[in-house]
Chains A and B, each alone.
Chain A
């Protein structure tokens, strides 16, 4: 059920030819099924209109003349038509449900596949909740349109035309007389539709305002209470609520007028049949059965008209959803794969930055995160980046993995610009460990293996052992098969970190990137395990660590100090300390405490 609806769901036209054409593209693969459903629909309408006609035959040919033989056959024919209508209608409904479901399956897959290609930058700009709404509720709205809206409207139209045709066939003069009310009904319905649409729109807008107000005030309730604003906020809320009530009443009124008026029109039609048809029957030009059949048809005639008007809202909601879905599908892929990518079975792990300028913003003038950064990391070397918060360390990792592209300069892996690699190919050789470990729903084993099905359970276990994770995993009931609860809420930060190491190492990367920045509370025992694991995973591969652990920076081959987006200093721990520059200050600020902690 959708609770998330914002003002962006407020809606425009109920029919947009451009959107409709594009939507129909998703139905096209199933056009055979649609054609069949249409045929079934026509047959259903025909079968369901037999009733009054049968009544006419029964009255005129059997009841009035008092000839009972043959009435049974007529009734049986009627039952047969009913059974046929039942089967046909059921088959038609199911056919359309199938089409709708398959089309929505396709659209959903296309959307998700497209979303997988969009860059990390896109995800930082778009709230996850809204994207989820696109994949779920918006697509449901389209499904509803296909299975109920379009088909029902078509079915209603067919029924209308069918009744008109039968009436004309039975007696064209009486039919024309009956349909005298039709122009009035059509005009009135059109008018009603306009009013109802406005009313519906007004309700949605006002409900969205209530929603926004509630959202804001629930989040800021502390402020409301601290500033003693309860009474005035209550008054404002009641005002919004009153506006919503007024819109609701207006909508109610339009429906309360519409239905009785259509009812009255239908009564006028019946009255015409009684007066005019009755006179004809008295004169003997038409039969009594015909009059009765006419009355029954006339009463049915108005049902689809009432229905048509109400189907409008479904169309309207679906169009708005389609608009949003297509906007998302048209979102350009910012980080694209080259047409003829570099391929490599193995990566040596040589990394070079050449004059890299980078900003997260599209208008970067003021917010350069990296300014003219150049460095070279040899294959197999281990390097730590250190720097003050916001110095630009983590963007180094974002550029090597090509989560983002730099505005100027280039990033090379094994001498090839990362933009010349196939993204997935490049990343397959890189192992990434993030500080904030993201765990998926599934078992611990699933979380280590991820979707790489070629990794065996044995390999998962070995990787866990290698990074010191095996011990705590085996102590959990169900071990590797234990389900991860609520994104790993039951695991400690340190345990999640170890799982992240196992996850990286089981994929056997040639380059290891570890983002180990924010300090977190990890108990001493786990801390020792992590440090040991970190040391091991760095062996035999190029390793880049955004470090916060003293032990790490003490053991890497080289430290690069990033300051205000530039490489300010470089060297080993000892060399840099001896220089007494920025590193020394950073060291005292960030790492000295760890030393003291270890000393005590």
Chain B
């Protein structure tokens, strides 16, 4: 068992120990019932008083009730511990995910991370629940019933001992084959799934080339093979339970044959034979459970390994060991010979840029020139591969992460809101969720009038299970969310692209007051957004190609001037649009 899983189990050792004790007790009680039956049968044979039979019947019920009571607590203890461990691992798993860096989430698929938190944890829960419960119970039951069988009659017990292992043997032999064939079925299931997925994703090509019939034929062949493999599996797996029944029945027949002779010979009583039968029945489940438990343990350990690969991956970006915690950051930012490569592909090279506290800097450049990456380095969503990013003269890697991120308000390119109320979303970055600050921010971001129009106002639920906001509304909500934190550094990553020019102008107007005292970085494609900045930085292919004020850059006639020309043309086209009726 893995060390980590071991530790989780040890955390519940009390529950498990009580569970073991109860399991022992319950086993002890269940083996007494066949003994009661024996007394009854022998009593009938020897012509005992009916009162004895009534007493035995009462004892039988009494034992069963006590046993049931114990089994209830036994199950609750052991299986409950299993569920609690699942709960604990899931919490730890999520906590670990929250510590992981951005790049981790980019190269790990969301579905995969979720499968671990749901399916794998379910399997682990079974391992530490029914898995542990049954493996011990099987041992107890086997020992107790086996011992008593030998106590009754050695030769008879040896006969059973010769036959019962066949159950496990068949389970292992067939099991191996079933496992292999099951894998083949699963493989074909994946093929089937993949083919359906391709068909649906490529439906335009399928239709454009009139390939529907060919697609149906291809899918049909895959589907048929799936059926063939499933039936092959059914031919093997279908034999499993009948074979079990056959072997157990064979054991019963042998006991009846040998035992009958022993009774006639006077070696054992008829009652003892009945008792023996009782133990045989009791053992059949543990014998079958052996194979079942083995599978549960195997699957559970495999799942635990999958969880551990995540838990073992170290966050690349974490709180430094001895963090600097300034009272408040002034917001002076410096990029010192910064380069950044993603998966070996250079994205930024040799960036040197100094932004004084309180300045407004615009970053422009074509798609893929590295603008988003550049600003992501400030709150340490990524760390540079070369050089350093400094805030207030301190390398961000030495600053306390909560302090650094707490003084930055970033509005990302993609407006991501959580399924929560608008207020919950706007106050996302506020300790204790101060409603008035969120409302103020909504005013600044020009979202307030529309919120007032919603029947539930700030209590409107947005996101997947709520109201669908327009692209512009979402962007303004994310701006308000950032403003509500009152950050010393404001970063807008193309955050106004979905709002119309007039609203943009209004927001910028309102933001100007805000930005006057704060360092602001604005990424935008619109010249109207960036022209008022103190400094405009033009990125091209990961480098700074130009920088200066709007007028200076226009005069230089470079990339920025070209962008400006195009912007004018676009505006002219949009004006044409407006004039078309």
Contacts and interface: CB of A to CB of B under 8 A. Distances in A.
Given A260-B71, A424-B210, A563-B576, A275 B110 contact: no
B114 A79 contact: no
B212 A452 contact: no
Interface in B210-242: 210-220, 223-224, 226-227, 230-231, 234-235, 238-239, 241-242
B118 A452 contact: no
Given A105-B223, A224-B98, A260 B43 contact: no
A288 B41 contact: yes
Nearest to A126: B200
B264 A66 contact: yes
A85 B253 contact: no
B91 A249 contact: no
Given A223-B412, A451-B214, A260 B260 contact: no
Nearest to B578: A564
A388 B218 CA distance: 40
Interface string B174-197: 000000000000000100111111
A503 B206 CA distance: 12
Given A68-B260, A257-B72, A274 B204 contact: no
B60 A271 contact: yes
Contact of A112 (B65, B196, B565): B196
Nearest to B91: A238
Contacts of B33: 267
Interface string A77-97: 011001101110110011001
A214 B310 CA distance: 15
B418 interface: yes
Interface stretch (A362-370, A408-416, A552-560, A582-590): A582-590
A434 B405 contact: no
Contact of A221 (B90, B97, B117, B206): B97
Interface string A308-327: 00000000000000000000
B211 A62 contact: no
A291 B410 CA distance: 81
A90 B405 CA distance: 65
A459 interface: no
Interface in A421-437: 423-425, 427-428, 430, 432, 434
Interface stretch (B48-56, B139-147, B501-509, B516-524): B48-56
B428 A229 contact: yes
A242 B87 contact: yes
A292 interface: yes
Given A3-B119, A221-B105, A589 B71 contact: no
Given A245-B83, A438-B205, A89 B241 contact: yes
A485 interface: no
Nearest to A93: B238
B-side interface mostly: helix
B71 A259 contact: yes
B198 interface: yes
Contact of A271 (B44, B45, B61, B218): B61
A226 B405 CA distance: 6
Contact of A263 (B71, B79, B214): B71
Nearest to B45: A288
B418 A220 contact: yes
B246 interface: yes
A86 B246 contact: yes
A123 B204 CA distance: 9
B11 interface: no
Contacts of B242: 85-87, 89-90, 93
A379 interface: no
B196 A131 contact: yes
A221 B315 CA distance: 13
A234 B94 contact: yes
Contacts of A432: 204-205, 208-209
Given A132-B197, A589-B569, A123 B203 contact: yes
B267 to A, nearest CB: 12
Nearest to B202: A438
A275 B68 contact: no
B257 A275 contact: no
B276 to A, nearest CB: 12
A64 interface: yes
Given A275-B57, A441-B198, A450-B211, A588 B569 contact: yes
B47 A282 contact: yes
Interface in B12-66: 33, 36-37, 40-41, 43-45, 47-48, 50, 53-54, 56-58, 60-61, 63-65
B245 interface: yes
A535 interface: no
Given A78-B253, A131-B200, A214 B94 contact: yes
A128 to B, nearest CB: 5
B114 A82 contact: no
- How many A residues are at the interface, by size bracket? 35 or more
Contacts of B379: 226
B220 A388 contact: no
Given A78-B256, A274-B56, A207 B118 contact: yes
B451 interface: no
A282 B211 contact: no
B246 A85 contact: yes
B364 interface: no
Contacts of A216: 418-419, 463-464
B76 A223 contact: no
Contacts of B86: 245, 248
Contacts of A71: 257, 260-261
A389 B351 CA distance: 33
Contacts of A259: 71, 75
A218 B227 contact: no
Given A221-B100, A225-B98, A267-B65, A249 B80 contact: yes
B573 A586 contact: yes
Interface in B243-277: 243, 245-246, 249-250, 252-253, 256-257, 260-261, 263-264, 270, 273-274, 277
Contacts of B245: 48, 82, 85-86, 89
Given A218-B114, A256-B76, A274-B57, A109 B211 contact: no
A282 B53 contact: yes
Contacts of A20: none
Q: Which 3 A-B pairs have the closest CB atoms?
A: A451-B214, A260-B68, A267-B64
25 contacts: A78-B252, A85-B246, A85-B249, A102-B227, A112-B215, A115-B200, A120-B203, A120-B204, A135-B192, A135-B196, A136-B193, A212-B419, A218-B113, A218-B114, A224-B98, A249-B80, A260-B69, A274-B53, A278-B40, A278-B50, A281-B44, A291-B40, A423-B210, A427-B208, A589-B569
Interface of A: 1, 3-4, 48, 51, 54-55, 58-59, 62-64, 66, 68, 71-72, 75, 78-79, 82-83, 85-87, 89-90, 93-94, 97-98, 101-102, 104-105, 108-109, 112-113, 115-117, 120, 123, 128-129, 131-132, 135-136, 207, 210-212, 214-230, 233-234, 237-238, 241-242, 244-245, 248-249, 252-253, 255-257, 259-261, 263-264, 266-268, 270-272, 274-275, 278-279, 281-282, 288, 291-292, 295-296, 299, 388, 401, 403, 423-425, 427-428, 430, 432, 434, 438, 440-441, 450-453, 503, 507, 563-564, 566, 568, 582, 585-586, 588-589
Given A58-B256, A116-B216, 8 more contacts: A55-B277, A68-B264, A93-B242, A101-B234, A221-B100, A278-B44, A278-B57, A291-B44
Interface of B: 33, 36-37, 40-41, 43-45, 47-48, 50, 53-54, 56-58, 60-61, 63-65, 67-69, 71-72, 75-76, 79-80, 83-84, 86-87, 90-91, 94-95, 97-100, 102, 105, 110-111, 113-115, 117-119, 189, 192-220, 223-224, 226-227, 230-231, 234-235, 238-239, 241-243, 245-246, 249-250, 252-253, 256-257, 260-261, 263-264, 270, 273-274, 277, 281, 379, 381, 402, 405-406, 408, 410, 412, 416, 418-419, 428-429, 463-464, 481, 485, 565-566, 569-570, 572-573, 576-577, 580
